[in-house]
Amino acid sequence: MSVVSERLKKARKKSGLTQVDVQKKTGIHNKTLSGYENEVSEPDIGTINILSDLYEVSVDWLYGKTDDQKKVVSQTSMDENRRYLIDKIMRASDEDLPDLKILINRVLSDND
């Protein structure tokens, strides 16, 4: 089992959450989460950040870069706007994603 898969499952269980609980809290479908935990697929960094926050473990620990599970204070201080946007993007339908990408690129290109 890969380090990421193993640690995602370990962190979820340590948090006392089922895959359905995680779905309710994050919008990540329980079948998708099962795929991450069973090496069928690997989560992207946005998903890793969401799960890291939920499980209160560091991203480095999930990736196997450290054995210290605790989050660093700066890592947990993602502001609410970013957290809100990530949550909305994770809940968006596949049909909405291309439009969201266009909107995000427009906003970010205006800020360059």
Whether 22 and 59 share a structural domain: yes
* In a domain? residue 98: yes
Q: Which letter does DSSP use for residue 77 in this model?
A: T
Whether 19 and 53 share a structural domain: yes
Quick check: 4 pLDDT over 50? yes
Tens digits of residue pLDDT in 42-52: 999 999 999 99
CB-facing half-sphere around the CA of 63: CA atoms within 13 A: 11
Tens digits of residue pLDDT in 92-108: 899 999 999 999 888 88
* In a domain? residue 92: yes
Tens digits of residue pLDDT in 28-68: 999 999 999 999 999 999 999 999 999 989 899 999 998 87
Domain count, the chain: 2
